[in-house]
Amino acid sequence: MKTPAGSECPHFYGDYFRGRNVEECRLLKAAGQRWTPDLCRTCPVPGIARANACEFLKLNATVGRPLMAVFQRRVQVTAYCEKSKRNVLEPQVGCGECHALPFKFEIKP
């Protein structure tokens, strides 16, 4: 569903049926964090979802204040691969074990 920032996010929920105006981020709600629409502008989750569609990648989100942007709240994401049972350093790329390349390039002299 489209977020207030205009990007597609699998964790955003909006109910507008018959005049309702219910919006929430289910990823932050599951973590017990408070969501506001301004967090969607800088949230990395839609970019991660576009880059990596691995079914074993689980995202954990928290709302924090980075050192450089003291007055702005931002969503910070960590990822965990349930197949390889380890933390993922770059969620856009993945763990590297779930989706290996189908072939290797070899350069012979």
Residue 102 has pLDDT above 70, yes or no: no
Q: What is the mean pLDDT of the chain?
A: 88
Question: What confidence tens digit (pLDDT) does each residue in 48-101 have?
Answer: 999 988 899 999 999 988 777 667 889 999 999 999 999 999 999 888 888 766
pLDDT bracket for residue 24 (50, 70, 90):
very high
Q: Tell me the DSSP string of the chain.
A: -B-TTS-B-TTEEEE-GGG--EEEEHHHHHTT----GGGGGS-SHHHHHHH---TTEEEEEEEE--SS-TT--EEEEEEEETTTTEEES-TTT--SSSS--S-------
Domain ranges of the chain: 12-88
Work out the average pLDDT over 16-32. 91
- What share of the chain in percent tops pLDDT 90? 56
